[in-house]
Amino acid sequence: MSAGWRNWVGNQSCSPLELGAPRSEDEVCALVADAARRGLTVRAAGAGHSFTPVVLTDGLLLDLRGLPHIRSLDADRARVVVGPATTIGEFGEPLWKAGLALANQGDIVAQQIAGAVATATHGSGLELGCFSSSVRRLRLVVADGSVVEIDESDPDLLHAAQVAVGALGVVTELELAVAPAYRLRERIEHWSWEDAWEPFEELAAAHRHYSFFWMPSEDSAALYGLASPGESLADRCHVKIYDEVGDDVPDSAELRRRVGPAHVIYPMVYEPNFHELEYFVPFERGREALAAMRELMLRSLPVSVFPMEVRTVGPDEAFLSHSYGRPTVVISVSGMPGDDYGPYLEDVDRLLGEFDARVHWGKLHFLTREQLLARYPRAEDFLAIRRRLDPDGVFLNEHLRPLFR
């Protein structure tokens, strides 16, 4: 019996029968093939930043940190080849020295890239896709222990693999399209709800990154470290705007007005004091959904005390992506560990379901098989590819089986 596993906030844990720590792709192949022969399920553990039970297994759990991380950089083609356990934070300096950067990223840099890709993790920007949209090639160990190399020569297979929640196999290598190195100017201010919400569509279009946290109560801001001494933030917004700047603008460490390389400006530190739900609605319905959410949260206090985070993501082609075929508005809310926040999050699910909401695969959600088929236009195509690559469901666990079997 292996040691137990738990995620970063402690709301998911399991005791797998075996824990594998391969140091090469060949070892991954051997471990997967042996587990499949013995009827064990197989899951890979990333950095544990998912709130859902995506990692859980009573079979074989793989820790892929022993595989090589950043493997090659091609500045001419703007590509980077990496191993699955490379963290988002590891990309920054090596890419910068090569004149490159990740096209976008979110606040947290501890996630491993394979997990971030598998769950369609993202940053913010109306013209910017999630991490998954940058994948141009990957190597996948499938249920019989063989390796399938997937690239742009088979678009359907690539778009299925770009967001697969680990249900197709074990990723051992990824090639990502990256961007020329760029610098950002930060602007962080506290606005009224009306000032942040009324011109939301215009501001999202005008800036590389426009997002905000809305605080429903006096206690909200402190939960994410957003409080300012002597300032009331109840029913106000912590607004974040990032825009690119040229070399004529010097770096700056000024509070809330920093300027510097993108990978330096993006990260933000959070305490693991929340359990998060994150849904995505069509951009054109975003303002309407946000207004409805504000009313729901004000009615639901104090259980709805955590801020509502609001961002945008550009469209992509991954079959299970929250932003397949459409730009989206991202709405994130959280429950307090130890509280009975379930009914509140179920209310959020019902409300946003009226807006054709899709989910973040690594955040708490209530998606059903029926909703999957209704809200994801290429869901049936994903399911057909999954059955072809893994007919016996080796890579499915109790959380994924009802959705993807």
All structural domains of the chain with their residue ranges: 5-63, 70-180, 183-369
Mean pLDDT (the chain, rounded): 97
Banded model confidence at residue 3, pLDDT cuts 50, 70, 90: confident
Element at 287 (helix H, strand E): helix 286-300
Lowest mean pLDDT among 39-48, 126-135, 264-273, 280-289: 264-273
Lowest mean pLDDT among 123-132, 165-174, 267-276: 267-276
Q: What pLDDT is recorded for position 270?
A: 87
What whole-number distance in Å separates Cα of residue 359 and Cα of residue 280? 6
Backbone angles phi, psi at 296, to 5 degrees: -60, -45
Return the closest-CA partner of residue 277 out of 265, 292, 293, 266.
Answer: 293
Report the pLDDT averaged over residues 19-43. 98
What whole-number distance in Å separates Cα of residue 31 and Cα of residue 57? 15
Q: What pLDDT is recorded for position 322?
A: 98
CATH code for the domain defined by 70-180: 3.30.465.10
CATH architecture observed for domain 183-369:
2-Layer Sandwich (3.30)
C-beta of residue 312 within 8 angstroms of C-beta of residue 283: yes
Q: How far apart are the first and last CA of the chain?
A: 28
Task: Give the relative orientation of helices 379-389 and 155-162 as an angle to the nearest 10 degrees.
Answer: 90
Q: What pLDDT is recorded for position 2?
A: 58
Return the closest-CA partner of residue 196 out of 286, 313, 270.
Answer: 286
Q: Which CATH class is domain 5-63?
A: alpha beta
Q: What pLDDT is recorded for position 1?
A: 44
Residues 6+ away with beta carbon under 8 Å from 175: 79, 80, 81, 135, 136, 137, 138, 151
Lowest mean pLDDT among 1-5, 10-14, 104-108, 215-219: 1-5
Residues 6+ away with beta carbon under 8 Å from 135: 117, 158, 161, 162, 174, 175, 176
Q: What pLDDT is recorded for position 228?
A: 86
pTM, two decimal places:
0.96
Element at 265 (helix H, strand E): helix 262-265
- Strands of 345-390 (E only): list them: 358-359
> Over the stretch 303-348, which tens digit does the pLDDT of each residue have?
999 999 999 999 999 999 999 999 999 999 999 999 999 999 999 9
What whole-number distance in Å separates Cα of residue 197 and Cα of residue 192? 9
C-beta of residue 121 within 8 angstroms of C-beta of residue 323: no
